[in-house]
Every structure is written in C-alpha cells, then in structure tokens.
C-alpha cells in the first residue's frame, strides 16, 4: 500500500484529488444504518408481518411504496432529518472528520443526506460551498471546498435520491450534478471512503467512468482512482481493478479504526511531502541568493 499512498498523497498535496464519502463515514458518529431506516418504514407502513421478506426489499422499494401510500416522502424526510442528526460534539470529536478537513480536498462528493461534513468544516472555520442542485452551482466561490450532495440534501426534498424511481432516474447520469461529476472525474484522482462497494449506482458510476476512458484514445492519461475498504475479497478487488480502481485495505479489523489509520497515514505523508517541498524552495532560494551575492 505504501506506493499507492505515495501517489495518492502527491495528488492530495497538489489538490488534484476528489474525495467521495459514503454512509460508513456518517455511521462512525452515530447515524442510523440503512437497516434502521428500513425498520422505521416497515413500522410506518404496517409491514411487520412480512418480517425478513420486507427487509429484503431494501430501502428504495420501501420508500417507493411509502410515497405511493402517503403521496410524498415529506413525512419520511422529516423523520430522517430529526433522527439522522448528531451533536456538534460528536462531529468535533470524530478523528475521521478532522482528517477529512485537514487533507483539504478541493471537492468532496457524498451520497449522504446529513450535514456532518458541513458541520466539520464550520467547526474548523474553513470555507465551503454546499451543492445539492443546479442553482447551488451558481454560488460557488473559487477557493471554497465544494461539498457536493450527490444524492440530495434534507434542505431540498426534490434533490433527494431515496425511492426506487429516484435511483432509476439517476441511472442515465444526465442530471446537472452527474454532468459535473463526469467532468470533475475525468481530470482528477478519485478516492472513495465509507463504501462497501455493493451499491449498484456507485458501481455503475465507476463502470461508466472506465467505459468513457476505454472508448477514448487517451486511456493511458487517466488519473488514478482508489477505494479504501477495510476488507476486500479477490472477486471484488479483481472487478474494481479491471475498472482502473486500486483497492486499498487494512490489517485493522475494526472498520472505523481501519479508516482512521488509513487517513492518518495519508495525512502524515502529505505533511511530509509539503515539508520536503518547502525545504526545496528554501534551498533553491538560498542558492540563488549566494549566486547573486
């Protein structure tokens, strides 16, 4: 992993890397799992009798049924907005969120609906722009870190990608945020964290990027992409490698500990490279001064 971190660290240092954040990052500060959302919808819809069969449907189908029964997902969104919140203290104490801010990515894409990333930047007093729809794109300042809410934001019901129809609509990848991501992803290194890589939409997104490059005459110019997984089997790793995604893993069993350790090592290497770069500039300046003297 050392060589992979070296290349990734250089991309981060040069601000050529995009971070893609999944649900695993929000769960470390206490947000409910998808299973808890499924259990709530089953209870609201009176589907307890279906037991495991209902849970096997997954949250998009249940959310679709919820919309059909209630006419909208408004009440469900309100429940999620209340329940999927954690205190500022939890975010402040999260080493993972501290490291994300410290690494200073110019863009962070996330499929999470919550505000934890925004809160982390607010606590650190670092400027950012939240982007959840086409309108938000018009307010972005050049130096702000962009936090792109790829599956929507609680402040905008229409932006949420939650029901099965929402996911199907996104499969064409032609929304304003999809167009933005394709453009950003073509020119920068990607790092995915907090994903199990079993989400069909994310896998299709990665496949589309790979397909775009393979159809071009410049596949060798493609920036590297990475995904951190605490554990990865040979089948999953082989498929992701085929799509040009380098899988980074850990020997630490605990998922939170493994991700924290990975980000710590990445941040440390970025810091070392930054110091080396500063030393080279000082050395060059001293040599220039001597030659002029």
Q: Provide CATH code, domain 2-29+92-278.
A: 3.40.50.1220
Cβ–Cβ under 8 Å, residues 263 and 99: yes
The pLDDT of residue 32: 81
**Average of pLDDT values for 132-145?**
90
Burial zone of 181 (CB within 10 Å; 0-12 exposed, 13-18 middle, 19+ buried): buried
Which candidate, 185, 138, 147, 178, places its Cα nearest to that of 161?
Answer: 178
Model confidence band, residue 65 (pLDDT cutoffs 50, 70, 90): very high
Rounded to an integer, what distance in angstroms lies between the CA atom of residue 148 and that of residue 159? 12
Model confidence band, residue 150 (pLDDT cutoffs 50, 70, 90): very high
- The DSSP secondary structure of 99-163, one letter per residue, reads HHHHHT-SEEEE---SSHHHHHHHHTT--EEEESSTGGGGG--TTSEEEEETT-BTTBGGG---S
Structural domain boundaries of the chain? 2-29+92-278, 34-83
Q: Give, in degrees to the nearest 5, the angle at Cα 245 between 258 and 163.
A: 80
pTM of the model: 0.89
The pLDDT of residue 84: 81
Rounded to an integer, what distance in angstroms lies between the CA atom of residue 57 and that of residue 38? 9
Residues 6+ apart with CB under 8 A from 257: none
Rounded to an integer, what distance in angstroms lies between the CA atom of residue 211 and that of residue 205? 10
Per-residue pLDDT tens digits for 43-53: 888 886 555 55
Per-residue pLDDT tens digits for 71-123: 998 899 888 888 888 899 999 999 999 999 999 999 999 999 999 999 999 99
């Amino acid at each position: 992993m050392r060589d992979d971190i070296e290349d990734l660290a250089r991309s981060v240092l040069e601000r050529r890397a995009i971070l893609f954040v999944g649900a695993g990052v929000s769960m470390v500060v206490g947000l409910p799992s998808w299973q808890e959302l499924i259990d709530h919808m089953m209870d609201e819809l009176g589907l307890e009798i279906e037991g495991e069969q209902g849970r096997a449907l997954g949250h998009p189908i249940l959310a679709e049924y919820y919309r059909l029964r209630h006419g909208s997902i408004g009440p469900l969104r309100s429940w999620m907005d209340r329940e999927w919140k954690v205190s500022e203290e939890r975010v402040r104490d999260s080493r993972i969120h501290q490291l994300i801010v410290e690494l200073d990515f110019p863009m962070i894409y996330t499929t999470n609906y919550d505000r934890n990333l925004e809160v982390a930047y607010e606590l650190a007093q670092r400027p950012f722009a939240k982007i959840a729809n086409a309108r938000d794109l018009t307010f972005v300042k050049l130096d702000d870190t962009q936090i792109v809410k790829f599956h929507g934001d609680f402040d905008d019901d229409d932006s949420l990608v939650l029901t099965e129809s929402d996911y199907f609509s996104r499969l064409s990848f032609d929304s304003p945020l999809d167009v933005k991501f394709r453009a950003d992803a073509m020119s920068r290194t990607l790092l995915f964290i907090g994903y199990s890589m079993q989400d069909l939409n994310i896998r299709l997104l990665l496949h589309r990027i790979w397909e775009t490059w393979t159809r071009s005459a410049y596949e060798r110019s493609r920036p590297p992409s990475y995904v951190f997984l605490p554990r990865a089997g040979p089948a999953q790793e082989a498929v992701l490698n085929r799509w040009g995604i380098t899988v980074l893993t850990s020997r630490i069993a605990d998922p939170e500990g493994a991700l924290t350790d990975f980000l710590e090592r990445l941040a440390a290497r970025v810091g070392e490279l930054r110091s080396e770069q500063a030393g080279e500039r000082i050395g060059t300046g001293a040599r220039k001064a001597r030659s002029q003297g």
